[in-house]
Structure 1
Amino acid sequence: MYVVADGVKQDPVRRWSLPDRVFFACGACHILAFAFLKAYPQSGFAPLWIKPSKGFTGNHIVVVRDDMAFDYHGFSSWSHLFGHIEAKANRWWPGWSAQLIPLPMEVLISESKSREYDGLWLREPKQFLHDAMPRAEQCLRRFPRPPE
């Protein structure tokens, strides 16, 4: 989990200039999740939204299969990853908690479909300074294929 300086997410140039790890942690996680699901449609992974409780920040979208997760960290144990997210968020925002909400894949790249979920508002790949999908696909190639 990363927290970027004030104004970075509102400045398209500064946001695009973030290293991939931070870019896909802070506002483009859903694009990486979509790229993963598109590349591995038969992998059994599904998108999951970590929705912070009212009054908190720290939204994140990962893909999960059983106790395995994938996000900008790569592959990890889902229970370990979520524990890490909870611990780190509670250091910054004491009392932080979240709901886990399954999402359909198409929501990940549709602003209008994402807005159908209370509290979710995702940018489409082309709503970044440049199309974020090729960047996500390139980032994804750095990781191994999902284990069977």
Structure 2
Amino acid sequence: MDLRYYGAMELWYYGAMELWCPGPMALWSYGALDLWYYGAMVPWTYGTMELWSYGALDLWYYGAMELWCRGPMVIWSYGAMGPWTYGTMELWGPGPMVLWSYGALDLWYYGAMVPWIYGTMELWCPGPMVLWSYGAMVPWTYGTMDLWSYGALDLW
């Protein structure tokens, strides 16, 4: 179990319960309070419905329709292709490939490989392995081992 701070507080646990737990359920705070559920239900539910707060209030629907508000307001659909504004402009279509700007420029690939920039440059691939930099540079794997730098360098 890992407890760290990121503008607020985040709890992680890979495999059981966490603040970001891909599989069962995750709960984490990111400037606000976000709830996740990978495969079931969550503020960020992968396959069903997601509800999570990220400075505002966001509602998601994977495969149907998602409504997410992050400063401005964004509406997008998962499974199709959704364009939305997030301070700048984001274009992302989880399933095939996503391109979105998050203060910079982010590229996603759900199930394959995803590179995106979040202040620096991040590579993130849900399923196989993820490599992303968040203030530095971080490579990590989903369900295996994670190595990522978040202002410093963390190994978990």
If asked which structure has higher relative contact order (CA below 8 Å, sep 6+), I would say 1
- TM-score w.r.t. length of structure 2: 0.27
Higher normalized strand content (fraction of residues): 2
- TM-score w.r.t. length of structure 1: 0.28
